[in-house]
Amino acid sequence: MAKNIMIQGTMSNAGKSLLTAGLLRVFAQDGYRVAPFKSQNMALNSYITAEGLEMGRAQVVQAEAAGIEPSVRMNPILLKPVSDVGSQVIVCGEVRGNMPAAEYFRYKQKLVPVIMEAYRELEKDRDIIVIEGAGSPAEINLKTHDIVNMGLAKMVDAPVLLAGDIDRGGVFAQLYGTVELLEPQERERVKGLIINKFRGDRGILEPGIAMLEEKCRLPVVGVMPWISVDIEDEDSLTERFYRKGTAGEVKAAVIRLPHISNFTDFNPLETVEGLEVVYVSSVKELGEPDLILLPGTKNTMGDLRWLRQSGLETAVLKCAAKGVPVFGICGGYQMLGESLCDPCGVEYGGQMQGMGLLPVQTVFEEQKVRTRVHGTVSGLTGFYQGLSGSSFTGYEIHMGTSRTIGAAASGTGGSGSDKCGREFGQVSDFSRIRLAVSGSGAGPVKADGCVCRNAAGTYVHGIFENNEFTNRFLRLIYRRKGLSFEDSRHMDIEEYKRRQYDQLADAVRENLNINEIYRMVGI
């Protein structure tokens, strides 16, 4: 049986995910076999495991910090919002369907056996499991049949560290108020408090810390400073959308769609020296970019309608007409096509005209595509010709099938076009390739995406995490502006992540009482 500890917060964005990742990194550095666990995550940023199952990216990041392969056992329930009052419910990596919030609230208690089975399987080969809560344990309207905060802590008998966000102000009231609103048996589980995201002289805090410890009868196990580490954060609360960095030689504009998902696809570009990556939601913010990126979305048709109403579609088309490269991933790729058809009512039903930059038709289907892929870009001409020959790995998560107009009816992408469409690359399904290794043949190959003049699209998430592909891509963008691009500007993404996780672990060791936390864990 693994030992455990749980990080809960006084509110959303109190820093639970980052603290969890930091503790996992510290424990792993100290030689322990560790794993993250979050029973229920609500996020639009998701990931496909090696088994072809879907989970939240926050636990993927924590698995990376722990140095292990992500597994849906780390996040057995994922809720992907499809509206203000409803979500797609994913259980153990498989879609269970869409549910209004009230229906899910009644249904979730049935998922307790699923949660416990995932946890028990996970702890079989682990020494320590670091568990992340959600929101606040003092949301008294949601405490009935809780499965993610104190309810889960009770189920797995976990000690709790409670974190508060001082950057938003009122951290003492946050922590004291949360503790006071807990039931006596819940309060007993809280073993320590953490003040998170502090900027300034810690000495100024000491009188407040002393009073907080006296009133709560709990130790403050550390004050975590605001640290500049580049690690993925919760998608709905990310500050990336609001960052105003210094202007670079080249400006890449990511369209900030209302239901944007997997915007982490563009994180690797933010590591490039001289490349300014901005998230825009208005024509004024778009300005005159050197590259336009259309991200994934949980609601392609609805977000395309917003793009149209906001004037951004017209602005993007004007940029494209001037030769500005436009690149779409997943839902962004679907928008760039000629039409979107939803005969089964997966999104809004009916049919919509696309942006018309790619000769592609998308039909939404009830079956979700979930797969890991790898392949090689081939057969491109024109602006994107320099990408031909680059290899890549990634994953697909989408509800639609896209075919180039005039292509064969079978397969994603197709093999021909009656316009200027060309397949983006030859993609091999990872799971099928793996099966083919022990059998015969090289495995089935399909075409993915489409390229037409300066517009391109693909279903492959994570494509910019491939160094060869990204360096070639950036050379094209820089060359168009009359600039040269050296590969040294773009750091190896895996090495970059390792450095960030190690910096986080250093900060955790320096600012939290690790010996006291080990005592709480029982080690």
Give the integer Cα–Cα distance in Å for 408 and 411.
Answer: 8
Is the pLDDT at 446 greater than 80? The verdict is no
- Percent of the chain at pLDDT above 90? 70
User: What CATH superfamily is the domain 250-482?
Assistant: Class I glutamine amidotransferase (GATase) domain (3.40.50.880)
The neighbouring-strand residues paired with 374 are: 393, 428
Q: For 183-214, how does the pLDDT look when each residue is reduced to its tens digit (9 = 90+)?
A: 999 999 999 999 999 998 888 899 999 999 99
Q: For 386-399, how does the pLDDT look when each residue is reduced to its tens digit (9 = 90+)?
A: 998 888 899 999 98
Residue 420: predicted pLDDT:
60
Would you list the domain boundaries of the chain?
Answer: 3-73+105-231+498-521, 250-482
Catalytic residue numbers read 330, 461
Is the pLDDT at 376 greater than 60? The verdict is yes
Is the pLDDT at 65 greater than 70? The verdict is yes
Residue 404: predicted pLDDT:
85
If you ran DSSP here, which 8-state letter would residue 430 be given?
A: H
Whole-angstrom distance between the N-terminal and C-terminal Cα of the chain?
A: 13
Q: For 244-278, how does the pLDDT look when each residue is reduced to its tens digit (9 = 90+)?
A: 655 689 999 999 999 999 989 999 999 898 999 99
Query: What's the average model confidence in pLDDT over 13-38?
Result: 97
Q: For 200-252, how does the pLDDT look when each residue is reduced to its tens digit (9 = 90+)?
A: 888 889 999 999 999 999 999 999 999 888 888 765 556 666 666 556 899 99
Is the pLDDT at 39 greater than 90? The verdict is yes
Residue 82: predicted pLDDT:
82
Residue 238: predicted pLDDT:
63
Least confident of 283-292, 375-384, 411-420, 451-460: 411-420
Query: What's the average model confidence in pLDDT over 432-449?
Result: 46
Buried b / exposed e over 434-455, threshold 16 CB at 10 Å, is eeeeeeeeebeebbbbbbbbbb
Give the three-state DSSP class for 227. coil
Give the integer Cα–Cα distance in Å for 477 and 485.
Answer: 9
Q: Give the pLDDT band of residue 144 (cuts 50, 70, 90).
A: confident
Give the integer Cα–Cα distance in Å for 109 and 107.
Answer: 6
Is the pLDDT at 421 greater than 80? The verdict is no
Q: Which CATH number fits domain 3-73+105-231+498-521: 2.40.128.20, 1.20.210.10, 3.40.50.300, 3.40.50.720?
A: 3.40.50.300
Q: Give the pLDDT band of residue 145 (cuts 50, 70, 90).
A: confident
Residue 437: predicted pLDDT:
25
Average pLDDT of the chain is 89
Give the integer Cα–Cα distance in Å for 462 and 475.
Answer: 19
Query: What's the average model confidence in pLDDT over 457-467?
Result: 93
Q: For 330-348, how does the pLDDT look when each residue is reduced to its tens digit (9 = 90+)?
A: 999 999 999 999 998 888 7
Is the pLDDT at 138 greater than 80? The verdict is yes
Alpha-carbon dihedral sign for residues 182, 186, 187, 193: negative
Give the integer Cα–Cα distance in Å for 181 and 131.
Answer: 21
Q: Where are the beta strands (DSSP E) in 63-146?
A: 77-83, 86-91, 94-100, 128-132
Residue 428: predicted pLDDT:
66
Query: What's the average model confidence in pLDDT over 468-493?
Result: 90
